[in-house]
A and B are shown apart, each in its own frame.
Chain A
Amino acid sequence: MESLYAITTGVLSACGLYLTLRGRTFPVVVGLTLLSYAVNLFLFSMGGLTTDGAVVINGEDDYADPLPQALVLTAIVIGFAMTAFAVILAMRARGDMGNDHVDGRTKEDSEESRR
């Protein structure tokens, strides 16, 4: 299970990183979302991966660490709000600058690059 988990996290963060480095705002926002998924998965695993662990400490040796779950919950909420904000900002940038380039190219630039 560990290797599957690690590969999933790795593929997600690689895709996220690649998309974040793109030049247009839509792939960047999607990339940031993927990156935050990867981070959430990673946070889950930081208490160690266990199966069939008890939810709370009840004197047994075998219980799941509750802290990563609380942290992931916080991270998900914050990540969600941030993604919503980034989407709105990207739309606003598209509207105000007339294109969806992260660096906000002017019209002449984009026409030149098309030639």
Chain B
Amino acid sequence: MIQHLIVLPVVLPLVMGVVLLLTRFGSTSLKRGASVGATLLLVLIALALLIKASSGEIDYYALGDWQPPFGIVLVLDRLSALMIMLTSVLALGCVIFACGGDDEKGSNFHGLFQFQLMGINGAFLTGDLFNLFVFFEVLLLASYALLLHGGGKSRIQSAVHYVVLNLAGSALFLIAVGVLYGATGTLNMADMAARLSELPAERSGLVTAGALLLLVVFGLKAAILPLYFWLPRAYASAPAPVAALFAIMTKVGVYAILRVYSLVFGQNAGELTSLDQPWVWWMALGTLAAATVGVLAARDLRLLVAYLVLVSAGTLLAGVGMDTPAATAGLLYYLLHTTLVTGGLFLLADMIGQQRGKAGTRIVKGRPMTQGGTLAGLFFIAAAAVAGLPPLSGAIGKALLLDAAEAGQRIWLWPILLISGLSAIIALSRAGSTLFWRSQNGERGGTRLPRTQWAGVGLLLASSPLLVALAGPVSDYTRATAEQLATPDALISALLSDNGDAP
């Protein structure tokens, strides 16, 4: 059992997804129980993987015992263990929230949710470029269906854009994989890194083209500047638990950029080393600036949160663009914080919308809310965390990133990041005061919200103070992760040591 631990985050959601689809006509409480139970089990598995990886050991699982570089491998290092942990915690919050009634607005919510988890976990674990494509497709297919969960005009319209864009992105991904395979003769990322160090000069143009094509694909997933226009509408129209889970989807893109460009195009790649860096850095700053304008202009709470996701994507990618271990450590801490808090904000926005009746989440005067006090308190905590105010976790994450910037980068990063924080404070306080204080006189409206919804939001928002309380161990872990990423040789030798050189 213990040697199969690495494959469990993929197999468990797959099995549960199939079982949940088979029992689509079964009783609701049974489905909910199974889904929450499976996600809880996933958290425990992720915890075991995290403990295993925290020693710094790099482990891999060769499917069918076909050893790398020929077989398909799942690789567990500090980064992938951290991402799996984050996914499972976020998923637990979302699935508990969904049990409050959102799952019954359409069919097959829980089964699709598990498939989505399978795709995300697989993308984090795989050590093979083509398998990264396959897992991307798995998570995208599930996300298409989840985005449409419950139906409605705005969902269908944003889904058309989302699906068409991602299908075009998949075509680009395949072309990039094809170019890289043609130039290097392998798809295993570690093997590709080893082969790039002895790449014939006439092929380096081909590899550069492939690498930059991959950046376009990952940029589309991570919502980098010219490729983010699908995101705000899709996220704002998705059902709340799905939108909250989508908070991790942009991070899959960030992860892929981190992984591929630190491992394959890492220090061994000669003149191709960190060829993504200038592109990512400038486009990330552009993303931050554009998202800041979006945050200030949003007239709907859900749209506002979607733009905040974009701000966090820009911040993370700026960290990737700095390309130092300190920046990577800072961005990983920020990634944990921002994923969980923006996820929680999506759920909270939905609860506010339910209580306000017709006004929904639009930032206009509405009727007073039955549970307005508690909602306002939670909103205050979430807003302070996401805008990066001390004492909550956003402040620590941003401080780590600001501190990691080198002199030449500070002139650009500091003003843009700090102004985006200020804009977030302005936009959120304007939204909060309109939603909670400027209400019409009249009856308090809205039914009391189910307890599961409170539990889901509470779980996600509690992570922010928890990340502050555990800031020491967490930042130690992210620093160790960044060091591991900066020395890809350890991973390459762990994977390829048994076989020697490939023929």
Contact = CB atoms under 8 A, between A and B. Distances in A.
The contact size tier of chain A is 20 to 34
Contacts, number: 84
B168 A82 contact: no
Interface in A63-97: 67-68, 71, 74-75, 78-79, 81-82, 85-86, 89-90, 92-93, 96-97
A39 B160 contact: no
A46 B182 contact: yes
Given A43-B174, A85-B141, A104-B153, A90 B160 contact: yes
A71 B130 contact: yes
A81 B134 CA distance: 13
B52 interface: no
Counting chain A CB atoms within 10 Å of each CB, the highest count among B141, B144, B181 belongs to: B181
A96 B2 CA distance: 50
A68 B181 contact: yes
B179 interface: yes
B97 to A, nearest CB: 26
Nearest to B181: A46
B178 A20 contact: no
Do most interface residues of chain B lie in helix, strand or loop, or is the interface mixed?
helix
Interface in B422-457: none
Contacts of B157: 93, 97, 103-104
B503 to A, nearest CB: 10
B201 interface: no
A47 B180 CA distance: 11
Contacts of B178: 39, 42-43, 45-46, 68, 71
Counting chain A CB atoms within 10 Å of each CB, the highest count among B174, B182, B187 belongs to: B174
Interface of B: 130, 134, 137, 141, 144, 148, 151, 153, 156-157, 159-161, 163-164, 167-168, 170-171, 174-175, 177-179, 181-182, 187
Interface of A: 20, 25, 28, 32, 35-36, 38-39, 42-43, 45-48, 67-68, 71, 74-75, 78-79, 81-82, 85-86, 89-90, 92-93, 96-97, 102-104
Give the top 5 A-B pairs by smallest Cβ distance, nearest first. A46-B182, A46-B178, A104-B157, A39-B174, A39-B171
